[in-house]
Amino acid sequence: MKTLSSLEKELEGWAKLENRLADARELVEMGDSNLEEDLTKEIHAIQQEIEKREFDAMLAGEYDRGDALLAIHAGAGGNDAQDWAEMVQRMYLRWAEKRGFETETLDLTPGEEAGIKSTTISISGLYAYGYLRSEKGVHRLVRISPFDSSNRRHTSFVLVEILPQVDDDESIKINPNDLRIDTFRSAGAGGQSVQKNDTAVRITHIPTGIVASCQNERSQTQNREMALKVLKGRLLALKQQERKEKIEELRGEYQKAEWGSQIRSYVLHPYHMVKDHRTDFEMGNTEAVLDGELDPFIESYLRFTLGDKAS
């Protein structure tokens, strides 16, 4: 039903676009000069919509049309890294809001004094994973630390994970005997418990050591289901990464990715610049980027990887 609904919505969008084109054609044929300004605006809007749909059509990966799981982890650096993690969380939430995607925080570990240590967020919407998969990697911030009394410049790192939301994927088989399930009380800011009962769930996949947790839902059963969904996404990502590394190793191109090999840098001092190191695309308006203006970076990377160099 979910797949049917998304397909119906997409077909409805194409039908509306077709009607707009027909209406614009009629206005052109009328030859009324008074309508020229409105017609120019409408043609420009139609062109933008076509370009967007043309780009969406290139997102043909197995999970591109589906929902995504976004996980953010603060790196070493104490308060600065945890504050940066919270800034990254806000950036993606604002991006999702602008795109009309639904978001739900599944798990969040607050920082001891500021920011967050980690969080997992469900992002639902057509092509959510297709767009967000370009954001996977280390994000680096350079700024004057607000936590340094000497006003020195600090560099902070955050790791972003992007996982597909998988429900019934036959390639992911989980043996219940391979799982260790722990329950605990949901924690709020400062580590204080916000639930009297042990409703939060942490699932550990023993063979791989992968951990997934959820504490947002009210019942232990709901949290267990969501944690299992996150675990499936991480196992799928691991399987895809192993396959990619094997292919690259056979080709003689494989290089191990180390922590700190950032995909993007956000510089707030001594100048303002956000630069993607994979495509060299950059923007000077750091405030807009941190407020969710990520589409230029996402589209630049996806066009680069899809072989379409137009920007």
Average pLDDT (210-229) is 88
Q: Are residues 84 and 149 in the same domain?
A: yes
Which pair of structure tokens corresponds to residue 251? 């080709």
Give the residue from 144, 146, 210, 203 showing the smallest Cα distance to 176. Answer: 203
- Is the domain of 140 the same as that of 288? yes
Asked whether residue 218 is domain-assigned, the answer is yes
State the CB neighbour count (10 A cutoff) for residue 125: 18
Model confidence pLDDT, tens digit, residues 252-290: 544 444 455 799 999 999 999 999 999 999 999 999 999
Q: Which of 205, 228, 251 is the last residue of a domain?
A: 251
Report the alpha-carbon distance of residue 199 to residue 197 in Å, rounded: 6
Which of 133-147, 164-178, 183-197, 278-292 has the weakest average pLDDT?
Answer: 183-197
Per the listing, tokens 């994000």 go with 139
Please compute the mean of the pLDDT values over residues 108-126 and round it to a whole number. 93
- 138 belongs to a structural domain: yes
Contacts of 133 (CB under 8 A, 6+ apart): 61, 64, 68, 162
Residue 77 pLDDT more than 60?
Answer: yes
Q: Calculate the CA dihedral of residues 93, 96, 100, 102 and round it to 10 degrees.
A: -70
Closest CA to 131 of 302, 303, 308: 302
Q: How many CB atoms lie within 10 A of CB 120?
A: 26
Average pLDDT of the chain to the nearest whole number: 86
Residue 256 is predicted with a pLDDT of 46
CATH number at residue 298: 3.30.70.1660
Domain membership flag for residue 257: no
Separation CA 216–CA 265 (nearest Å):
31
181 in the same domain as 153: no
Identity of residue 132: L
pLDDT category of residue 190 using cuts at 50, 70 and 90:
very low
Q: What is the mean pLDDT of residues 222-248?
A: 85
Most confident by average pLDDT, 12-26, 100-114, 277-291:
277-291
229 pLDDT above the threshold of 80: yes
- pLDDT tens-place string over residues 139-152: 999 999 999 888 89
Are 26 and 133 within one domain? no
For residues 100 and 224, is the Cβ–Cβ distance under 8 A? no
Same structural domain, 18 and 160: no
Cα 60 to Cα 130: distance, rounded to the nearest angstrom: 8
Rounded to two decimals, what is the model's pTM?
Answer: 0.76
Rounded to an integer, the average pLDDT of 103-123 is: 93
Establish if 8 belongs to a structural domain: yes
Question: Between vectors from CA 234 to CA 233 and to CA 239, what angle results, nearest 5°?
Answer: 100
pLDDT value at residue 301 = 92
Is residue 258 included in any domain, yes or no? no
Whether 171 shows a pLDDT value over 80: the answer reads no
pLDDT value for 307 = 65
CATH number of the domain where residue 199 is located: 3.30.160.20
On whether both 117 and 231 belong to a single domain, the answer is no
- Whether 84 and 226 share a structural domain: no
CA 285/CA 272 separation, integer angstroms: 7
Same domain membership, residue 268 and residue 161: yes
Residue 144 within any structural domain of the chain: yes
Cα angle for residues 63, 70, 195 (degrees, 5° grid): 125
If one counts the domains in the chain, the total is: 3
d(CA 136, CA 257): 12
Banded pLDDT at 309 (limits 50, 70, 90): very low
Indicate if 284 and 159 belong to the same structural domain: yes
- Which structural domain, as residue segments, surrounds residue 146? 68-165+263-305
74 and 144: one domain? yes
Q: Which of 193 and 199 is assigned the larger pLDDT?
A: 199
**Rounded Cα–Cα distance for residues 169 and 194 (Å):** 34
Mark whether 80 and 199 lie in a shared domain: no
- Tell whether 63 is covered by a domain: no
- Report yes or no on 311 lying in a domain: no
Residues 158 and 293 grouped into a single domain? yes
